[in-house]
Amino acid sequence: MGKSIKEMREFLKNHKRYWTMNSWNRLHSFATNVKLHKINAPNEAYHFLECKEAFDDVNFLIDDFRERNDGYCIIQNGRSGGYLVLCKCDRTENGYRVHFNMIGDDIDSLTSHEVRELFHLVNDFDNTTKACCDSFLEFVKNHTLEERTILVPQKIQVAIEKSSVTA
């Protein structure tokens, strides 16, 4: 049996929030703390934070959330990026533009229909952020890091004296 509107309102009111950007701007939204100690990550997980491949599935899950929930996205926020935050966003020619405005600020003023929609959105957000954490932890469990030195070809501009070019 599903939750009542009253239960949904309570869930939304009690859900973790995080100040988007800084607390002084007074803008906050639904959030999940994904700091390594909060998700019970093993000690070696810290070293995987710089490993791009560790986040391939996480990025896929976040992109999939955005596709399912048009107009909303999940961003990383906080001094150390330790929070995933639900934000409004819209498509632009170059990708997405995030709007740092509050979502569901006054739960009591929402209609039953709005509460139900927001509840399902936040529930999907929670499930997605949990899946992101699980994916990262599974990657850490199944991989080891190895340091390698690679050569990266790079185009650069080099100044050549004009007299040597015409010779």
| φ and ψ at residue 49, rounded to 5 degrees | -65, -25
Residue 146's contacts (CB-CB under 8 Å, 6 or more residues apart) are none
pTM: 0.83
Which helix (H) or strand (E) segment is 118 a member of?
A: helix 112-142
Query: Mind listing the pLDDT tens digit for each residue in 64-97?
Result: 999 999 999 999 988 888 999 999 887 776 766 6
The DSSP bridge partners found for residue 73 are 87
Structural domain including 88 reads: 5-165
Is the Cβ–Cβ distance between 65 and 88 less than 8 Å? no
Contact assessment for residue 72 and residue 29, using Cβ atoms and an 8 Å cutoff: no
Closest CA to 74 of 62, 64, 83: 62
The tens digit of pLDDT for each residue in 97-124 reads 666 666 778 899 999 999 999 999 999 9
pLDDT at 162: 86
Number of domains composing the chain? 1
pLDDT of residue 136: 97
Q: What is the DSSP string of 95-109?
A: EEEEE---SSS-GGG
The secondary structure element, H or E, covering residue 124 is helix 112-142
How far apart CA 86 and CA 121 sit, in angstroms, is 9
**For residue 58, pLDDT beyond 80:** yes
**Local structure of 149: helix, strand or coil:** coil
